[in-house]
Chain A
Amino acid sequence: MKNTILTIKQQQRIAPDTCEMVLQAAGTDAAVLEEVRPGQFINIKIDGFYLRRPISICDWDAAAGTITIIYKTVGQGTEAMSRMTAGQELDILWPLGNGYDLGCLPQRPLLIGGGAGVPPMYGLCRKLAEAGARPQVILGFRSAADVFYQEKFQALGARVLITTEDGSAGIRGFVTDAMAALGTGSAAALEPGSAEEHANESAYDGVFACGPEPMLRAVDQNAPAEIPGQMSFEERMGCGFGACMGCSCETKYGAKRICKDGPVLERSEIIW
Chain B
Amino acid sequence: MKKILFRLFIASLCLWANALTAQLPSRITLKGVVATDTVGEPAALATVMLLNPADSTLVTFARSDAQGAFAFKNIRNTAYLLKISYVGYLPYQQHLSPAESETVDLGRLTLKPIQRELMEVVIRTAKAPLFIRGDTIEYDATMFKVPPGSTVEDLLRRLPGIEVDEAGNIKAQGRDVRRVYVDGKTFFGSDPKLATKNLGAETISKVQVFDEKSEIARLLGIDDGKEERAMNLELKEEYKKGAFGKATLAGGSDERWASRASYNRFDDRHQFSLIGYGNNINETGVNWEDYSEFKGQGTFQALDGDDFGFGGMPTGIYFSTAEADLLNYFDGRGFTRNAGGGVNYNFDNKKTKANASYVYNQTFLDLEEFARRDNFLNTGAFSNTDTLGRNSFRGNHRIQTRFEHNFDSLNVLVLKGDLRLSRSEDDERRQQRFFDSDASTSTINRIRADNGADQQVWMLNTSAVFRHRFRKPGRAFALSAGYNQEVSDQRERFFSQNQLFIPFERLEQLRTRNLNDADGRQFKSSALYSEPLGERWFWQTFANARYSENDANRQVRAPDRGDARVDSLSVFYGFAEQYYRLGSSIRYLVEGFNATIGLAGQQLALNGRFARDRDLPLLAPPIRRTFEDLIPYASIEVEPTDNLSFDIEYTYRVSAPSFANLQPIPIFTNPAFQSIGNPQLGPERAHNFEFSTFYWDDASFASMGFRFDARWFESQIVYNQRVERSDSLGIITFTRPENVAGGQSLWSYWWGNVPIVKNRLSVSFGGNAGRHLTPAFVNDVRNETDDRNWGLNASINFTPGSKLFFSANGDADFNNISYSIQSDLNQRIRSYSAGASVKWEFVSKTFFESNFNYRFFSNPTFDFRQEVPIVNASVRRLLGPKNRMEMRLAAFDLLNRRITVNQRGTQNFITTSVAPTLARYFMLSVSYNFRGHAGKVGSDREGIIIF
The reply to whether chain A is a binding partner of chain B is no
Binding site for B on A (CB under 8 A): none
